[in-house]
Amino acid sequence: MPRRSHRWLSLLLVAVCIVATLWGGASAAAGSPDNLLADLRPVSSQRVRRTHVLTDGRASRPGGYWKTTVTTQLDSLESFVVYDLGHEQKISAVWLQADSNDVYDVAGSKDGTRYETIFRANPVNDAGMRSRFAAGLEGQARYIRLTALSGDGAFAVSELQVFGESPARFPPAVTEVSGAPLERRVRDATLLFGFALIGLLVLSYRGAPRWWLIVPAALSCLAAYGFFDAVRDAWPLANREISTVRCTLALVATVAILRETFFPPKIAAHRGAVLGALAIAAVLSFMAFYNLGHPQFWDSKRQEWTFVHFLDLRQYYPTAKYFPELGYRGMYEADVAAYVEDSHVSLDSLQTLPMRDLDDLQGSTVGDQRAAVEAVKSKFSPERWQEYKRDAAYFRESMGTPQYLEMMNDMGGNATPVWMGVAHILFSFIHAGNTAFLVTALLDPLLLLGAFLAVGRTFGVRTALSCMVIFGANDFIMYGTNWAGATLRHDWLAYIALGAAAVRSKRYVLGGALFALSATIRAFPALTLIGATLPALWWVVAYYREHKKLPSVATIRVEQRPTVRLLIGAGATLTVLLAFSALVLSPEAWADWASKVGQLSSDPHANHISLRSLVAGWGDDQAAVVRARMPIFVGAILCYVAAVVVAARRMRPEQAAVLALVLVPVLFYPANYYIHLVCFLPLVITEKGADGKSQPLGPVDGAIAMTLLGMCAAQFIAVLVSENGVHFYLNGVLLFIAITTMLLVLLRAEARALGW
């Protein structure tokens, strides 16, 4: 076909599309000729997205999803959209289609200042987008305002129509269309952004002319714009979209390390592209942990989203603040007693309400625990009891009474007496409230950011950025929510990194103190102190082989001065903190804590990730399966312990301390969120040379970083599994694949160093 024919054909197709669009628009408008809002644009709006679809004459198909290309989203109860009809008019009928479980208000005003409700759209039983309407209204208004009054926070309206005179056909015939979910667009835009960054990494090479970099850089910028635009349009994002972001960023970081470490020298990686991609992945991953800035909890009292982590604080705030009265075991009894007094309900009416018995951690009911509930008030002074009731009322009102009472099936607060002592002092100065908890929630991100900065300064920028990516991109921390908005949930993790950074900069006493502080907060970080001594123990073995005797104490103090100083700092800190916890709480607190933790470890849990879970599976018969497979279980433990001991032989103390953390899921039975410690495993690599300057990672270090980052990317497989037991089992499989690979890489390097 001649080129001119191609041109005319293209013009003809364009003309057909334009005519079809105009015809469709005219048809839609013609469907409701008396609609006063037809194709009208708002004169003002606040926190409302996609307002152009609200008056376009099209509605979602009944039962459709709430967040699509044909719906308008209202971010909160403060959101509104206002239309000007041009002059005051009679309003006799209103029709709208909105999310079924929310309440929406259509109000009118003559002056744009004072509004009165014309029509209130109440919830309906059917799910999805559903129409609500009314005729025979007696409204007079020039301005029409749409707001959401209550609901679940997912507010959406697909179409709003207002009539001066009730039309002959009412409800009106509105064009129904299927909208594409906005989350799908987010997932597509996220992948395009990731592939654009990967393309930039692959095509950029050291010494490349600027013109060569223009196209991949421009495509990356364009993809970044598409990503942020899609996120803005679909805000707030659901868990799957956040997980897509995390997975993609981990993949980008993996390719960045691969590009710099394993590509041939002729096309050596462009340093700026590698560090830039890592920095983008690190910052966005850290933000992804905090849901890209969107609160994850709905405040039932304030009817708005909040960052306050009700699920965590509801357990730990009362336990810590009222530890002298309740200890680790009495919180739920006090909760029921306070609820009975405040709500003026009888204890008899709550007989069958489920409530965990925190003495034996078994399921129970209020009726079974009635004697303890009736006695708990006597443990408080009158003033303290009133304060407890005030704090409990805050959580009941904010969470909603049903969810608050449902959380009495949890295991309560289980942190060590040191953490409880610190939190007891902190929480004793504040009453339960949004402002106070938002302030205390800042402690964790500030500690973590300080830890990442310290790692970057002492270990190197690549190492720090890799740690940030793994922190935000892994799926271990997800269990419906993550710990964003909680108070001092990641303090132990930050202390490990700060301790490693202190040892790296030869501040051994401080490093030992920080390791000990972390250990007294969550117990299992005590492995860092054991790991830090492994290189010194290897030195003792070598000394004995050479001299046929053990070194003297004086020799050890001279030759192993860093390790000795580290242990001195740890010992002094342990002594002070144990005395502190006994003074603030009680000497018996440690025994009670140890007993409760032992009870927690004895029962199977769906969200625990460990070698025990890996061997036994995710069923309720884990103990029996482990007994049947005991030789495999014990053999695997011995292999992992031996691998860590051998791999740590030539490491610096801080590297060996961090490496020992891989034994946490091997030796213990930790909940999923404690596996967050993987984010600092990159500290075993060596980025800085003898001159203290950062340099590209070597093959061994690059392989370790890629293994840990690749694990995060692969976890999207588990994200797609909704059943908790299988979900966390898959995460456990990926974890042990990663740490096994990491140890094999280190052992191979050690074998080569020994000439094997």
What is the domain partition of the chain in residue ranges? 31-177, 183-293, 309-432
Question: How far apart are the C-alpha atoms of 736 and 147, rounded to whole Å?
Answer: 51
Q: Indicate the pairing of strand 48-49 with strand 103-109.
A: unpaired
Q: 66 with 99: CB under 8 angstroms?
A: yes
Fold exhibited by the domain 31-177:
Jelly Rolls (2.60.120)
Which alpha helices (DSSP H) does 344-400 contain, by range?
370-376, 382-399
Amino acid 28: pLDDT? 39
CA distance 192 to 302: 38
Q: What is the mean pLDDT of each run of 10 residues along the chain (756 residues)?
A: 44 44 39 81 93 94 94 92 96 96 96 95 94 94 96 93 90 91 94 97 91 92 95 88 96 97 91 95 96 90 91 96 96 96 92 94 94 96 97 96 94 94 96 96 96 97 97 88 90 98 97 98 96 97 94 94 97 97 94 90 83 87 88 96 97 97 96 94 90 86 97 94 90 97 96 85
Q: CB count, 10 Å around CB of 304?
A: 15
H-helix or E-strand spanning residue 66: none
Alpha carbon distance 288, 291 (integer Å): 5
Peptide bond connecting 236 to the previous residue in cis, omega within 30 degrees of 0: yes
Report strand pairing: 304-306 vs 297-299.
Answer: antiparallel
Exposure of 260 by Cβ count < 10 A (0-12 exposed, 13-18 middle, 19+ buried)? buried
Please calculate the CA angle 674-676-678 and round it to the nearest 5 degrees: 120
Q: From CA 712, how far away is CA 695, in angstroms rounded?
A: 24
Which of 251, 282, 291 minimizes the C-alpha distance to 455? 282
- Residue 575 to residues 243, 361, 419, 531, 568, Cα–Cα distance (Å): 42, 31, 15, 20, 11
240 vs 244: CA distance, rounded Å = 6
| Three-class SS state of 428 | helix
Residues recorded for the chain? 756
Which pLDDT does position 755 carry in this prediction? 81
Alpha-carbon gap, residue 469 to 478, rounded angstroms: 16
